[in-house]
Homo-oligomer: A and B are copies of this chain.
């Protein structure tokens, strides 16, 4: 079962689960009903796929039931996306409106943000219910929830660091800080949490946890670096968000920080004058040029490749076909 086939099954399960939710009143339902639309509109389902992979690495054989449980990961992820979009003031996600934006188009901004926070919280709550309704033993499900809290805390600290770096002037940011943020924010919750949680659900549950964490740290960072490169060099049709949005938000990405460090005084000023402000296509062209000419693009790509190589060394020992598919995906992805 390749990534695309998995995605189809997961989407079907997500759809069913979300359509089963009941609400006390029609007007309440109208608020929460934008959640299934938001979730089902797109998404790669990387996290539930990794969850299944962890399960299979531990010798798990109840594939369908495991995919039911894997909704936990996708729903938690979507809860974070809802918060993230609010924090970044992003209006688009997966080619459609973000939750807070779809609300803002109907009601005042303050109420829209309040509802969006609440929908984000709700998504977190139902993520646990998605796991709870499966037939796995309670002590396994409990172990997973406990494990989640560990990675949630990392992700929350990563989120705080992201916000802290965001306010730091470009010249004061070290690449090591950006990589720390990637480790906490992306690697923890995109790779380590799903892989380890799936593994904890399997019959094995112990032996390989350390390897899985190491693997996740490496490929998680590669995934984020690739994400940043796509955020700057990708196409809107494929990424589902405007190409200038990372720049306008002033995201402290690895390619950007490397480019800044390797720029002349003049180019440093150019970057400072563009990043974090409303930008034009011309600005985008300028930034792309600087990131390419300073070698920051190549360096970032090389670092991502190196991290994928490190990941491969671990995944070969783990004897997993699907992990190599995920590695390929991280290398090749254009969305």
Name A residues whose Cβ lies closer than 8 Å to a Cβ of B.
23-25, 27-28, 31-32, 83, 86-87, 89, 107-108, 110-111, 113-115, 117-118, 120-122, 124-126, 128-129, 132, 138-139, 141-143, 145-146, 149, 152-154, 156-157, 159-161, 163-164, 166-167, 180, 184
CA distance A23 to B156 in the complex (A): 10
**In whole angstroms, what is the CA distance A24 to B157 when docked?**
7
Smallest CB separation, A60 vs chain B (Å): 20
Which of A27, A113, A142, A154 counts the most chain B CB atoms within 10 A? A142
Contact, CB under 8 Å: A163 / B125: no
CB-contact partner of A125 in B87, B108, B153, under 8 A: B153
Q: Are A87 and B107 in contact (CB under 8 A)?
A: no
B184–A114 CB distance below 8 A: no
Distance to closest chain B CB from A208 (angstroms): 22
B117 x A31 contact (CB < 8 A):
no
- Say how far A232's CB is from chain B's closest CB, in angstroms: 22
The minimal Cβ–Cβ distance linking A20 to chain B, given in whole angstroms, is 13
A132 touches B160 (CB 8 A): no
Q: Provided the pairs A89-B110, A142-B138, A149-B132 are in contact, do residues A160 and B31 lie with their beta carbons within 8 angstroms? A: yes
A115 & B156 in contact (Cβ 8 Å cutoff)? no
**In the bound complex, do residue A149 and residue B129 qualify as a contact, i.e. CB atoms below 8 Å apart?**
yes
Contact at A24–B115, with CB atoms within 8 Å?
no
Q: In the complex the two chains form, what is the Cα distance from A79 to B260 in whole Å?
A: 39
Given contacts A31-B164, A125-B156, 10 further A-B contacts (CB under 8 A): A28-B161, A31-B160, A83-B121, A87-B114, A87-B117, A115-B163, A117-B120, A124-B124, A125-B153, A139-B142
**Which chain B positions have C-beta within 8 A of A122?**
153, 156
A293 vs B125: C-alpha distance when bound (angstroms): 44
Shortest C-beta distance, A164 to chain B (Å), equals 5
| Nearest CB of chain B from residue A282's CB, rounded to whole Å | 26
Q: Distance in Å from the Cβ of A220 to the closest Cβ of chain B?
A: 15
Can you give 13 contacting A-B residue pairs, CB < 8 Å? A24-B157, A24-B184, A25-B157, A28-B164, A32-B157, A86-B117, A121-B152, A124-B124, A129-B146, A129-B149, A129-B153, A138-B139, A138-B143
Task: Please determine whether A28 and B160 come into contact, CB atoms closer than 8 angstroms.
Answer: yes
What separation, in Å, do the CA atoms of A234 and B221 have in the docked complex?
53
With A124-B124, A138-B142, A142-B142 in contact, do A83 and B117 touch (Cβ < 8 Å)?
yes
- Which B residues lie within 8 Å of A31 (CB)? 160, 163-164
**Distance A115 CA – B157 CA, assembled complex (angstroms):** 10
Q: Which residues of B contact A32 (CB under 8 A)?
A: 157, 160
Known A87-B114, A117-B86, A117-B87; judge A161-B25 contact (CB<8 A): yes
User: How many angstroms from the CA of A114 to the CA of B110 in the assembled complex?
Assistant: 14
Give which listed residue, B83, B89, B114, B167, contacts A163 with CB less than 8 A.
Answer: B114
A107 engages B167 (CB within 8 Å): yes
Q: Are B126 and A159 in contact (CB under 8 A)?
A: no
Task: Say whether, besides A117-B83, A157-B23, A111 and B163 are in contact (CB < 8 Å).
Answer: yes
